[in-house]
Structure 1
Amino acid sequence: MSKSKKIIIGVAGIVAVLAIALLGSGMYFFHVAEVRAPKTFIKANKFKKNDPIFKYDAAFRKQNIQTWHQTTPGGLKLDAWYVANPIKTNKTVVIAHGFAGDKSQMAMYGQMFLNLGYNVLLPDDRAAGKSEGNLIGFGWTDRKDYVRWINQIVQKNPQAEIAMFGVSMGGATTMMTAGEKLPGNVKVFIEDCGYDTVKNEITYEAQARYGIPAIPRFPLVDIVSGISKIRAGYSYGEASSIKQLHKNHLPMMFIHGGADKFVPTAMVYKNYAATQGPKELWVLPGVAHAMSFQNNPVMYASKVQSFLDRYFH
């Protein structure tokens, strides 16, 4: 065998090994990102009794909680909590939870909105809590589910006035839902620390958590995105809050911690610029990811109420 053929075979072998390694890594990171399983790198909040928001969480769990359901076009049964405000009202808020979370982790926000005079609907996303499904949607597949939850509210009460609120991935879900066709009952959106695109968030986390380079362009995130397109039906590039916000003309409030190291604070300015309706931006200096409410629940509730009062009767 000639020397040149040996070189070609050697190079081909190296390329094959690299391709197999990248595909294997892609499958691993797809599992980390999207497959329903415990996410050990996500720390769930545990409230102590002296924590200022403990009373919010505890109070919500004492409410008369109803269970609602919907079935997706793909046959997944989704679960939600609904709490009617003790004082009868048509005002209802739909609350979206974060990555690797579920509706129970949003109970403190549920109580905040009950205190503000709203009924509360708290769904479990697909692949979360008591909802069926094995693949996390990062808000993109979930946005259609939230449209159906909103329509269910309207079916039960045609006079309903609806707000949508979400934190972290739930914030992105809120922004992505804002770009869909919605009934006129929907009045406003409030998002807290949501990302601008799934691709940017995954790329950022790959760098921050695993040291995977983004420049020069490294193919691993694109490989994981391609696996997602095949397995989950969407690529990371198409799952964009910004693209959806370009279609939104309803009022939206944006909240973000100024020291957010999980969803970089810079993302909120892109989201804020993208929306086409009335808008408000509140960045809290020195506050970490998804900690704005915990940092000062009284001020947080006051800011949210001030925004909502402009658009609800």
Structure 2
Amino acid sequence: MKKSWLWSIPLAIGVGSFLISEKIFHTATHRRAKYPAPSKRMLRYAREYYRYIDWYHEIPKQTWYVHEKKTHERMIATYIPNAKATKRTVIIAHGFGGNRETMANYAKMFYELGFNILMPDDRGHGQSAGKYISFGWLDQIDYQHWIQEVIEHNGSDSKILLFGVSMGGAIVAMLSGDKLPKQVKAIIDDCGYSSVRDELDYILGHWYHLPKYPFDPMISTITRHRLGYYITDASTTHQLSKNVRPIFFIHGAQDHYVPTYMGYRNYHATHAPKELWVVPFASHAESFWINPQNYKNHVNAFLQDYFY
């Protein structure tokens, strides 16, 4: 009897670990609200943020759609043609829990720099389809479609910039290792993580105070079952090792959500022309807000060197 009771301990631990892993997976990947509010740490910028939102609502725009052939899911994006006709277009990827509207500040910045703007809602966010958030790995498929939509709309002489923040930064960095059309000229990754596994392990330790094992492999197996890939597949640094396009990395020096060392990992992973700007005192996704004009100047300097 006593021996039978002892055997139940590892079973209980295993079941408990699986249930915790399932809960973390659900919390991380379930669909996000269509219209998220600014996070508490960004409330100091709320007045400026809603000024950009007002600009976004007022500017003439179009709604674009693509349909993913394998899943038959519909993705949605906003296209803002620049008032001055141009072949330059930036595709802007938003962060975890956001949507295309939350990138209005970056859209206005690039609009002022003379770009057309394409702002998708990513899988599991906003008005796009998707039961789960894929943290960039499956979003690559959708962004390949968006790139083709831009080329078809603006012509084969289009010049495309990929830009993203946080999860969006990881999306465009992951795309860098794919076979991309020649029209894609450069990439800007603001505070993207070095891999989904790195980010998961960091959150397990710092948010949940849990060890990597057994939770890392369990969550990875759940992800494989639900989304079709293991966490270890979704490596930003591996994708960057195949990158050949100029890329600009931006990261806050005080980022405790996607820690700054991941920005350095990404920077060192690619051998293409590259620049890194670590922004003093900036927390996660705060680099723009600390000094919008300085941010714009740094972006424009990179574009002058590698895009125009």
CA distance in 2, matches of 1:231, 1:249: 32
State the shift of 1:62 in Å. Answer: 1.3
Asked whether the 8 Å contact 2:56–2:101 carries over to 1, the reply is no
Letter in 2 for 1:181: K
Once the two structures are superposed, what CA deviation does each residue of 1:213-252 show, in whole Å capped at 9, x if it has no partner? 34xxx21122111100110111111101000001101000
State the shift of 1:54 in Å. Answer: 4.8
Residue 168 of structure 1: which of 157, 166, 188 is its match?
Answer: 166
CA distance in 2, matches of 1:180, 1:109: 25
Aligned pairs (5 A) from 1:14-93: 14-37=9-32, 43=39, 45=42, 47-49=45-47, 51=48, 54-73=50-69, 74-93=71-90
CA distance in 1, matches of 2:275, 2:32: 36
State the shift of 1:12 in Å. Answer: 2.1
Once the two structures are superposed, what CA deviation does each residue of 1:175-224 show, in whole Å capped at 9, x if it has no partner? 0011111100000000000000101101111111111134xxx2112211
Partner of 2:264: 269
CA distance in 2, matches of 1:38, 1:224: 23
Aligned pairs (5 A) from 1:232-247: 232-247=227-242
Partner of 2:196: 198
State the shift of 1:24 in Å. Answer: 1.0
CA RMSD of aligned residues (A): 1.9
Once the two structures are superposed, what CA deviation does each residue of 1:2-47 show, in whole Å capped at 9, x if it has no partner? xxxx45422321121111111111111110111214599x927555
Query: TM-score, structure 1 length as denominator?
Result: 0.92
Higher alpha-carbon deviation: 31-40 or 153-162: 31-40
Q: Secondary structure at the match of 1:70?
A: strand
Q: Which has the higher helix share?
A: 2
Q: Secondary structure at the match of 1:253?
A: strand
CA distance in 2, matches of 1:198, 1:25: 18
Q: Report whether the alignment pairs 1:312 with 2:297.
A: no
Partner of 2:255: 260
Asked whether the 8 Å contact 1:57–1:111 carries over to 2, the reply is no
Partner of 2:8: 13
State the shift of 1:276 in Å. Answer: 2.1
Q: Is there any run of 5+ residues in structure 1 with no aligned partner, and where?
A: 1-5
Asked whether the 8 Å contact 2:92–2:120 carries over to 1, the reply is yes
Query: TM-score, structure 2 length as denominator?
Result: 0.94
Asked whether the 8 Å contact 2:33–2:126 carries over to 1, the reply is no
Q: Is there any run of 5+ residues in structure 2 with no aligned partner, and where?
A: none
Q: Secondary structure at the match of 1:247?
A: coil
Q: Report whether the alignment pairs 1:250 with 2:248.
A: no
